[in-house]
Amino acid sequence: GTARKERAPMHGSSDERTRTGMSPESLKRAFVDSMFYVQARYWEVATPHDLYMAAAYTVRDRMLERWIRTAETYRKADARTVCYLSAEYLLGPQLGNNLINLGIVDSARQGARDLGIDLQEILDQEPEPGLGNGGLGRLAACYLDSLATLSIPAIGYGIRYEHGIFDQKIVDGWQVEDCDLWLTNGNPWEIPRPLLRYPVRFGGHTEPYTDEHGRFRVRWVPELDLYGMAYDTPVLGFGNDNTNLLRLWHATAGRSFDLQAFHKGDYYGAVNAKVGAENITKVLYPNDEPEVGKELRLKQQYFFVSCSLQDMVRVHLQHAPNLEGFHERFAAQLNDTHPSIAVAELMRLCLDEHGMDWERAWEITRRTFAYTNHTLLPEALETWPVELFGRLLPRHLEIIYEINARFLDELRMRYPFDPERVARMSLIEEGPVRRVRMAHLATVGSFAVNGVAAIHSELVKSTVLRDFHELWPEKFHNITNGVTPRRFIQLSNPDLCGIITDLAGPGWARDAENLRTLEPHADDAAFQQRWQAMKRAAKERLAARIREATGAVVDPQSLFDIQVKRIHEYKRQHLNLLHIVALYHRIKQGTDSDPTPRTFVFGGKAAPGYFMAKLIIKLIHSVAEVINRDPEVNQRLRVVFVPNFNVKNAECIYPAADLSEQISTAGKEASGTGNMKFSMNGALTIGTLDGANVEIRDAVGHENFFLFGLTVAEVERTLAEGYRPWEYYRSHDELREVIDLLRSGLFSHGDPDLFRPLTDSLLQHDPYLLLADYPAYVEAQARAGDAFRDPAGWTRMSILNAARTGFFSSDRAIREYCRNIWQVEPMPVSLAAGNGSVP
């Protein structure tokens, strides 16, 4: 409405400023008001949760002017906008981060103190939105932070799962999953938009018809419709006034339920159908890489993609008469193949709903999307059975067939004598069960494809998408992942933040390359002392946390050797365990030569259906139990498992690490992002040449990194030559003794069979080459242990790691996406300009 625009009242007026002031005084007043007017509580009966809610609303109020002003600025400028489509956002707690990005941490702490409250206690109350499984979802959250910080017009689109990643409990050393309840006590950060709803359809059939111009068209007659309703969360930039939008969709039953089923008198049937519709956004699938092919999962994917594209179309049509130019307004990033059905959905919207012809629709679609690949693991490459696909989305399957028919025609022309290549590239996998290959759909339907670390992007080009790279070499990019220094240094490690700010000034958190100012101080004794004190304090905090969570007592003087990440065979937590058992064995034998006391910390969730991963968790606990209570050993070694590894715990873990375990089989870990968080916080890495480890090692200096293991080429060769793990077992005495100990029942109360599935797998197949890498790993660990006994040398390396990892800021990654892929420019928001006056 232009008419409305003229009369638009100016919020953000001086009244508004006073009301949303940032001083301790006004924060305090607003907090007390929120307690009364929002929480409806009085002081004497307020629970810790009430304190948190009142604080969150107080902070949220202070985000709104920026948020609204940002929306207004982007809209007026008709700005090209990035739409990040992701099934996962592992946001972590919001309050602390929002305080930092608003620049009011000190005011808030002061205000709280005046009221006799400890800010930390309030922060600890927040349940975390764990709407992601691991690296991929956390990456999306880091990218939202950087997009806002770099003033890039951007919207994050995703799913508002009622239950995020499960809570992990440990019972008798086994993982037990518990339902995540992040929403049950209310979510103060989101704004429900009940009127912002879109219909989403499923099932039914399609029928041809002739439109009023006599053109052939197709109509989808769905069986079922439901609605997606928007919940909006503001995402603050740091050091600027931009505040972007994260829009998550919630499923509710549509009219078809009410009208058809209820009115037919089948009340219970109708209720059931309604519940079925609302199930779509009930729960996040807790699998990491391997896919399961569950119908509900495909429904989730289509549901959120359809809502998001309809929303984008609505916005576009506010500025334009039709969908021409859609690709100029939006760059839509597909975070893995999970949202890749978007290619078919945008085609459907253009063709069926907006009457466009195929060629034009395809042009717009291909110029809208870009696709990020996050894994090469064959079992993780998404494919959907054609039968299931056609049952749920008959029109989309038709469109995919048509895309494919045209694509294959092109290929046959280009490669007339290579039918095998054409079959390999098809969007449909032929076989006993025909399947839709989502990575091929995403690649064909996008203008850019990228991997997430240099080595990974090369492997994408030479393995899973090799044929596509040969066809379209210019389409392929690398964008090495990054992590936000706001959350993973400033928020998690205030002491380190203080050190850096003293040297580099406060600007470093917006320009992480400024971390280099630490470098000249790496050998300075006084500086080293401050650094050691920082590390020491972080280790003490983690030790306290561990004691609280597990009862285990660990020594902050010892080397903290930490592996936290999803539990997966390719990540090789059990290689770490083989080394621990070797150290134990040496101490028991009296053959030990590495007297460095160590605390081994593990953390991570296993997919609920992944038996081996769960057995690895049990093995960690079992080894811990034997080692921690043996007085001959426990002065030197401790092993702990931090239950329920999540963003909140992670913030306490990364700063406390001396040694970061990044020991995946070369070629398997696409990038890793924990590796970056550790080294930014001054941990040294023991790692393979896999994922971003390669670039971290180059950045920090080879002498400041404990490298071991087979390279990708060596892994390939070893497997090609017929790998026989048994021979490593036979010829390596210590390795054999270690595995025999696992099979002896020592760690399983005399039951020699408990860990048999693991040891058998290692001895018979060992697909991740633990035995081949074992000698090199143990040797690298010995180097690390030795190095730790030279505190000055270690501290120097630790400082250099932090100083040289600015490249791994997600700001750098997002700048690369903006320049190389999205072609989008910053649009800074100003709170001052013209908006200060009362109308």
Applying the rule CB under 6 A, the residues between 435 and 464 that interact with ligand GL9 are 452
Q: How many residues does the chain have?
A: 839
Site string for ligand GL9, 58-97 (x = CB under 6 A): ----------------------------------------
Q: Which is nearer to ligand GL9, 383 or 481 (CB)?
A: 481
Tell me the C-alpha distance between 23 and 106, whole Å: 9
Interface residue with ligand GL9 among 484, 573, 673, 835 (CB under 6 A) is: 673
Q: Which is nearer to ligand GL9, 566 or 618 (CB)?
A: 566
- 811, with CB counted inside 10 A (0-12, 13-18, 19+), is buried
Q: Which of 571, 614, 618, 638 is catalytic?
A: 571
How many residues make contact with ligand GL9 (CB under 6 A)? 19
Helix (H, G, I), strand (E, B) or coil at 463: coil
CA distance 97 to 490: 9
Name the minimum Å distance from CB 571 to ligand GL9. 9
Per the CB < 8 A criterion, the answer to whether 272 and 182 are in contact is no
Is 565 a known active-site residue?
Answer: yes
Q: Which of 24, 111, 137, 156 binds ligand GL9 (CB under 6 A)?
A: 137
Stretch that binds ligand GL9, among 193-201, 269-277, 665-673, 820-828 (CB under 6 A): 665-673
* Parallel, antiparallel or unpaired: strands 154-159 and 81-85: parallel
Which residue in the set 86, 308, 514, 671 belongs to the binding site for ligand GL9 (CB under 6 A)?
671
Q: To the nearest whole angstrom, how small is the minimum distance from the Cβ of residue 693 to ligand GL9?
A: 10
> Which span sits near ligand GL9 by CB under 6 A: 65-73, 184-192, 629-637, 666-674?
666-674
x/- site string to ligand GL9, residues 349 to 378, per CB under 6 A?
-------------------------xx---
User: Within 396-425, which residues bind ligand GL9 (CB under 6 A)?
Assistant: none
338 binds ligand GL9, rule: CB under 6 A: no
Answer yes or no: 374 catalytic: yes
**Catalytic (active site) residue 372:** no
- The answer to whether 566 is a known catalytic residue is yes
Q: Is the CB of residue 620 less than 8 Å from the CB of residue 641? A: yes
C-alpha span between 572 and 227 (Å, rounded):
43
CA gap 598, 785 in Å, rounded: 9
Q: Is 28 a catalytic residue?
A: no
654/788 Cα distance (integer angstroms)? 18
Residue nearest to ligand GL9 (CB): 135
**Considering beta carbons, is residue 139 or 578 the nearer one to ligand GL9?**
139
**Torsion-angle region of 731 (φ positive above 0: left; ψ -120 to 50: alpha; else: beta):** alpha
691 binding ligand GL9? (CB under 6 A) = yes
Q: Which residues pair with 326 in a beta bridge?
A: none
466-525 binders of ligand GL9 (CB under 6 A): 481
Smallest distance from ligand GL9 to CB 268, Å: 38
Smaller CB distance to ligand GL9: residue 481 or 805?
481
Residue 640 to residue 667: CA distance in whole angstroms: 29
- Given a contact cutoff of 8 angstroms between Cβ atoms, the answer to whether 811 and 513 are in contact is no
With H, G, I as helix, E, B as strand and everything else as coil, classify residue 371: strand
CB atoms within 10 A of CB 394: 20
Q: Does 134 bind ligand GL9 (CB under 6 A)?
A: yes
| Element housing 628 (H / E) | helix 611-628
Q: In this structure, are residues 487 and 651 in contact, taking their beta carbons and an 8 Å threshold?
A: yes
Identity of the residue, 131 or 411, whose beta carbon is nearer to ligand GL9 in the bound complex: 131
Q: How far apart are CA 392 and CA 294, in angstroms?
A: 12
Please select the residue that binds ligand GL9; options are 475, 566, 572, 598, rule is CB under 6 A.
Answer: 566
CA–CA dist 42, 24 (Å, integer): 20
- Are 729 and 740 in contact, with CB atoms under 8 Å apart? no
Whole-number minimum distance, CB 821 to ligand GL9, in Å? 15
Instruction: Specify the 3-state DSSP secondary structure of 146.
Output: helix
- Which ranges of 204-294 would DSSP assign to H, the alpha helix? 255-256, 263, 267-278
What's the min distance (Å) between Cβ of 767 and ligand GL9?
A: 17
If binding is defined by CB under 6 A, does position 670 make contact with ligand GL9? Answer: yes
Q: Which member of 201, 566, 585, 636 is catalytic?
A: 566
158 binds ligand GL9 (CB under 6 A): no
Footprint of ligand GL9 (CB under 6 A): 133-137, 139, 288-289, 374-375, 452, 481, 566, 669-673, 691
Catalytic residues: 374, 565-566, 571, 673, 677
